[in-house]
Structure formats: structure tokens, C-alpha cells
Amino acid sequence: MNEERHPEPGTKLLVALVGNPNCGKTSLFNALTGSRHHVGNWPGVTVEKRSGAFELDGLQIEVVDLPGIYSLSARSEDERIAAAFVVDPSVDLIVNVLDASNLERNLYLTTQLLELNKPMILALNMVDDAEKQGTSIDLPKLQELLDAPLVPTVGNRGEGVAALRKTIAEARRGQRPPCARVDYGADIEEELRKIEEQIGRDEVLAGGHPASPTALKLLERSPEAEQRLRASHARRAIEGQVRASAAFLEHHLGADCPTLVSERRYGFTHGLVLEVIQTATGDRRGLTERLDALLTNRWLGFPIFFAVMMAVYIATFVIGSYPQGWISAGISWLHDTAAAYLPPGELANLLVEGIIPGVGAVVVFVPVIMILMGCISFLEDTGYMSRAAFIMDRLMHLMGLHGKSFIPLVMGTGCNTPCIQATRTIESRSDRLITILVAPLISCSARLQVYICVAGAFFAPLHAAFVIIGLHVLGFTLAMLMGKALRMTLFRSAVAPFVMELPPYRMPMLRTTAIHMWEKGRVFLVRAGTVIFAGAVLIWFLSHYPGIANQAWSAEHQRSVEAVLAQKLPAEQEAERIEELDLAHQSRIMNSSLAARFGKVLQPLFAPILDPGHRRAEAWKDGVALTAGFAAKEIVVGTLGVVYQSRTESPGKEEGLSPLQKTLRVRSGLTPLTALAFLVFILIYTPCLGTVGMTLKETRSWAWTGFSVAYGLALGWLLSWLLVVVGRMLGFQ
């Protein structure tokens, strides 16, 4: 044992949080560090390293939450991230998070972590689930057999977190607490010793670690270890010994070395579990099986999934309509107050006609987004979304996509950027590229604001809900069809089989759901205060200059207003006449603006889908809004609010429409058919700059990134045009 030492003030400790997918790592990370990362009851929630910190007894502790992995033998991008980090010499301590309800499966990774000979703590998480299943774990005996500190926890409730913090703080840099190691048997151990002797000739190859982990990885034929070996000056001697040892073991033990090593590890974990676990038949597993018999049924699974999602959207719009009305009324009051008290001038016009309508048009839809994301989070935490991936697997394979692609695509309903990042969980490069290329077709929450605004303006509430659901279904359908097309043309390879863990059903913590709702709302509010604000200012400038600086027009408008005032008309009639004059003046300015010139250049491109009869004098405004959407889809709503000069009176009680929705219905000239074509184009055309940037980062290819942008534009225009042509043939307007 090392002599006990207390950490000096200011000492730092780097801790890696490692475990299987869906073992509760992120819940525990949040509880340890106070972070609020999304927690989901399904694999693949964490797709890159996340870092947080806390301080205890003068010790600065940085905790890194790694993607969930089943083994250090990495196959997918996220597994490589985790495996590379955990073996890095800079990591001072490993906290291995174990799912107490699936202990034997989790312990396989533990055996590999123990072989790294790093200080390690075992966090036995979800002990409440194990108890509900009737599983009794002898904790003192488990700790004794593994010779590593063990702390029972319930991460989502914060139970055991204080004890875990204390145990982490007690681990000192450089201390190597004794820990168990798998006994591979005399033959394998002897051959490992020979390989270690050869590795000892090159300290760089071991990467700062003892030679034994590297020797074991070479015997397992680990690609990462073999790649490091190529740079070793002792490469030939080490390779020769590895080949000789492998040949000897395979001849004498009757199996290849990776199989022999895995068998010993599984034997160790199985024997360990027999020693420490007593299991009684419980109701929880039976409940999971009974629910799965219904929810994942071959014939009922998909209709139930569709019904659940439709109920979510309908409930979202019904509940969200109330806070929408309150926010709309508040924005109306703010607009009227600013218009009444600010002195006339361009700065006041910017605030009253640019910033308030532009930002307000987005903010009014935040409650709907929060409610929808809360519902999705609730379904994730119950474990149902993993079943949805299982249900969709057969259909996705039929359409050329990997079944594992469903999880990133579902994440795309929140935002396409993390959706593309989440493809790191897919092992096959071709499957991963296909998923990246079709991911932008999935309707994200930024597009949802546009759907709510435009569909609500041109369709009755129930019909609008069906339109929005239809757009989401269309996005998934196009993703699968494009996946099939790409598989048949550019990626001619077999689809890899899909295996995914189905976690047990759990009752979600309402606090977690509420935090997720707030985080989504906060993201939109931050974007409203930054990106949308900047976009509103830019669009106002482009849509008002140079006309607003025309002194002759301003003087003419002022004379017209004074003439109306001189007539001494009734107050209501006078206000109506002045509003008409203001609207005519603003239209004159806008129709001569830089934005109008740009929009009119684009008008021939968008006319076939948005103005097929060439009857709309202001059709150019739609092109300006769609162009602004290249930066971020949320800007489309704010741009519409500015270019259509949305009035901010409170929504009518009968119609229940926001000011912008009333303006679009009355003054835009769009029909239900062309409005639907507008929404289809919004769904499909080029994703936002963030998604384009993530595509470039993950593919490392300008060619694939350019292809993603180009085919989205072409497909969006073509389908929108076909919708208008077919709709007009059927008599729709």
C-alpha cells in the first residue's frame, strides 16, 4: 500500500467516467458536477467527451463523461473517442459506472479497465432498479473480490453522490490501489510475459503504461495497438513474438487468441456474479416483457408509435396555445408602448418595425417548442424511444439505412447538428455517411417554428396539426428513400446487422423532464437574443434602405397624415386611415429596398412554387425569408415578421392567431396550396450553417458536404413544384 497523502491545495485530478451505454453515466455526471446535460433512457445519448468540475477539500476535480462503450476494442467513432481517452496517461482516475440491474454484462468492460493498472473506483449505479427486480448484491464481497473502492449510487436521484465525491477526492495522483485482474491461465500468462519483455525494449509503445495492457491488446489483435506497433523501433521483434505466442496458444488451446481472451473474461465475470448476486423473480422484468409484447408487436408496434407521436403533437398545440396568447399579448403591449413613447426616427423604426416583430415572432413559439421537447424527453426516459428504433429497424433496412441510424435521426427532431454528430455510434463508414447525408431531411425544432406559424395561418387548428405531423412523416420517408437511392448507387454494400439494447421501462423523473424543457427553451431564447436579433436588424436594414432615407417620401407621407388629421374624422375612422397611409408608406420603402432588389432576382426561381399565377406583387418577400433560412431556420419566422410588416395587435379571440399569422393570411397572398409548398421547401432545402459545418467536420470532405447542400436544394424545389402542379390539377388553390 502507498503511504497515505492528503492533496495539496490547488491540486488537480482528471477523472474519466466510463461505462456501458444506458448505465446512467450522464445522470451521475450531472449529479457530480452540477451540469445539465440531456439524460435519456436509451443508448447513444453521449456522443463525445463532456467535461465538468467540482472542488472538495482543496482538490480540483475535473470529470469527463465519455460515450458509452461495451469494450475497449473500439469499432465505432464514439467508442474510439472513449477508448483513446481512458488509456491516456493524463487520466488520473477511472470511475467505472456499472448498471446494478445488468451487472454481468457491465463487468466485461470492468475486466479491461482493471488491466490498465490505473486507480479505479466502481460506481454501482441504479441499485434501486436491481432491488425492484428482486436482485440482491453482496456489496462488501464484490468490493473484496475486485479489490477496488465501490460506491452504490442512484444517479438520477443524487443518492450516493456525496460518498462518490469523497471517494474520488481520496484518490491521489500516482497512487495505484491494488485491484483484481483476470487470471488468463498459465499458458496465456506465460506468453503475455514473453511479449511484455519485447515491449520493454520500447517505452514509447506502451504509451506511458505498464507493458501488460499493450501485450494483451496485441494478442487480441487490437487495431489501435497494431497501429502503434508500426511506429516502434522494436517492431520486428515484437511482431515475431506475438505471432509465435499466438500460434502456440491456438495450437494448444484450440481457439484463436481474441476468443481465448474473451472466454477468460466472460468466465471471470460469470464466476464473480455467481459469488455476489442472489436473484429472485420480480415483477419489474415481467412488466417490461408484457409491455414489449404489445409495444414492439410486429403488427401493432408501428400504429402505436404513430398514434403516440400524433397525440404528442396535438397535445402540444392545445396546451401551447395558452402561453402563446399570453406572450403575444405581452409583445403587443411592448410594441404599442415603444411606438407611443419613442421619438420618431430611424432608431425607433428599427426597434418598432424590426427588432420587436422579428424577435417576437420567434419568442411567441418558445412554449410550444418546450412542451414538445418535454414530451419527447419523457418518452426517451421511459425507454420507449429505444423500442421505436427497434420497431423501425425492418423498415429502415428495407430502405437501405442501418437500424442504428434511427437513434440519430430521432435526435434530429431536436436539431440536425447533434443528429449528425450522433452518427459516430455507427460502425460502418458507408452506413454512417448515408445517415449523415439524409439527416438534414429530418424535420428539426427550428423548422417547427416555421410550420407552426405558416400552417396555423392557413389551416384550421386540427388540420394544421395534421399538416405538421405530415411534414415530419415526409421528412422520415424522404430520408429512407434517399438512403435506398444512395445504397443502390454510391454505396453498394450490405447493410450491417442491427443489435441494440432495450433498456427496462422506467418512470421518468419529472425534474429531469422539466430541466430538459427549460434547456430547450433557453437555447431558443439565447438564439432569439443573438442570431435572431442580428438577423432582424440586418433584414430591417436591407428592407428599409435606401427608401427610408428619402426625405421627399417622408415629407409627402407627413402631409398626407396631417391632411387626415385636419378632416376631424371619428377616432376609429381616423386611426384606420392613418394606418393605411403608414402601410402604403412602408410598402413604398420596402418595395424599393435592397432586400426587394435581391428578392426580385430570386423571384423567377421561387415563382413556380410560391406564385404560379404571377399574381403576387410582393412574392419576392418569400425568397428573402428562405434565403435568410440558410443561416438558421428560426430566422425565417423573424424575417417574415419584418418584411410583411406584421402588426402586433392581440390575436383575435375567434381565430386564435398570432399577429404574424394574421398578417400572412390577410396580406401575403399565399394560398393553402402555396403555403404548403413553402413548408415542404422549408423541410427539404439546404440545412442551416451549423448543420453544414458539422457535416464537413464528420465527413472530412468538401465534396460530400457540397453534395448534401446541392441535392437538398434540388429535391426541395422539385417536390414543392410537383405539389403545386398536382394540387392545381386537382382543383386546389
Q: Tens digits of per-residue pLDDT, 116-137?
A: 878 889 999 988 888 877 788 8
What is the pLDDT confidence band of residue 462, given thresholds at 50, 70 and 90? confident
* pLDDT at 641 exceeding the cut of 50: yes
* pLDDT at 5 exceeding the cut of 70: no
* pLDDT at 97 exceeding the cut of 90: yes
CATH 1.10.287.1770 assigned to 186-279: yes
What is the pLDDT confidence band of residue 719, given thresholds at 50, 70 and 90? very high
Same fold, 11-170 and 186-279: no
**Options 3.20.20.140, 3.40.50.300, 3.80.10.10, 3.30.70.20; CATH of 11-170:** 3.40.50.300
Q: Give the tens place of pLDDT for each residue, 13-33.
A: 889 999 988 788 888 888 888
What would the DSSP string read from start to end of 400-411?
Answer: T--GGGHHHHHH
Higher pLDDT, 139 or 694: 139
93 - beta bridge partners?
A: 15
Q: What is the average pLDDT across 249-278?
A: 85
Share of the chain above pLDDT 70, in %: 82
CA distance linking residue 720 with residue 610, whole number of Å: 9
Q: Give the tens place of pLDDT for each residue, 331-340.
A: 888 888 888 8
Could you give the count of Cα atoms lying within 13 Å of 432 in the half-sphere of its Cβ? 18
Which pairing describes strands 59-65 and 50-56: parallel, antiparallel, or unpaired? antiparallel
Determine the residue type at 635: I
Q: What is the average pLDDT across 541-570?
A: 81
CB-based contact 692:686 (threshold 8 Å): yes
**Can you give the residue ranges of every domain in the chain?**
11-170, 186-279
Q: Give the tens place of pLDDT for each residue, 403-420.
A: 667 767 776 676 677 678
pLDDT attached to residue 123: 93
**What is the chain's alpha carbon radius of gyration, rounded to the nearest angstrom?**
31
What is the pLDDT confidence band of residue 464, given thresholds at 50, 70 and 90? confident
Higher pLDDT, 71 or 654: 71
* pLDDT at 44 exceeding the cut of 50: no
CA distance linking residue 265 with residue 110, whole number of Å: 10
* pLDDT at 361 exceeding the cut of 70: no
CA distance linking residue 716 with residue 349, whole number of Å: 35
CA distance linking residue 593 with residue 597, whole number of Å: 6
Determine the residue type at 22: N
Which grid coordinates are listed for 581?
A: 397611409
pLDDT attached to residue 627: 80
What would the DSSP string read from start to end of 349-400?
Answer: HIIIIIIHHHHHHHHTTHHHHHHHHHHHHHHHHHTHHHHHHHHHHHHHHHTT
CB-based contact 137:111 (threshold 8 Å): no
* CA 268 to each of CA 110, 255, 261, 573: distance values in angstroms, whole numbers, following the listed order: 11, 18, 11, 88
Strand residues in 40-105 grouped as ranges (E): 50-56, 59-65, 93-99
355 φ, ψ (degrees, to nearest 5): -70, -50
* pLDDT at 63 exceeding the cut of 60: yes
Give the length of the chain.
733
pLDDT attached to residue 1: 36
pLDDT attached to residue 717: 92
Which grid coordinates are listed for 194?
A: 514473453
* CA 419 to each of CA 18, 47, 411: distance values in angstroms, whole numbers, following the listed order: 22, 10, 5
pLDDT attached to residue 653: 41
CB-based contact 503:99 (threshold 8 Å): no
CB-based contact 75:427 (threshold 8 Å): yes
pLDDT attached to residue 681: 93
* CA 487 to each of CA 137, 228, 391, 416, 483: distance values in angstroms, whole numbers, following the listed order: 48, 34, 21, 21, 6
CA distance linking residue 14 with residue 98, whole number of Å: 20
Q: Give the tens place of pLDDT for each residue, 192-236.
A: 888 888 887 766 565 555 667 788 888 888 877 777 777 777 788
Q: What is the average pLDDT across 422-437?
A: 80
Q: What is the average pLDDT across 349-353?
A: 79
C-alpha dihedral sign at 465, 466, 471, 477: positive
CA distance linking residue 311 with residue 167, whole number of Å: 46
pLDDT attached to residue 281: 52
pLDDT attached to residue 152: 93
pLDDT attached to residue 639: 73
* pLDDT at 329 exceeding the cut of 50: yes
* pLDDT at 43 exceeding the cut of 50: no
Q: What is the average pLDDT across 242-255?
A: 86
Task: Point out the least confidently predicted range of 83-87, 166-170, 312-316.
Answer: 312-316
**598-605: long-range contacts (C-beta < 8 A, 24 or more apart)?**
598/542, 598/623, 598/624, 598/627, 599/623, 599/624, 602/627, 605/717
Which grid coordinates are listed for 151?
A: 460506491
Q: Do you find a cis peptide bond into 687, omega within 30 degrees of 0?
A: no
What is the pLDDT confidence band of residue 287, given thresholds at 50, 70 and 90? low
Q: Of 291, 290, 295, 289, which is closest to residue 308 (Cα–Cα)? A: 295
Q: What is the average pLDDT across 157-172?
A: 84
When the pLDDT of each residue in the chain is averaged and rounded to a whole number, the result is 78
* pLDDT at 263 exceeding the cut of 80: yes
CA distance linking residue 712 with residue 707, whole number of Å: 8
Angle at 163 between CA 160 and CA 169, to 5 degrees: 140
pLDDT attached to residue 270: 83
Q: Which residue has the cell 491516456?
A: 88
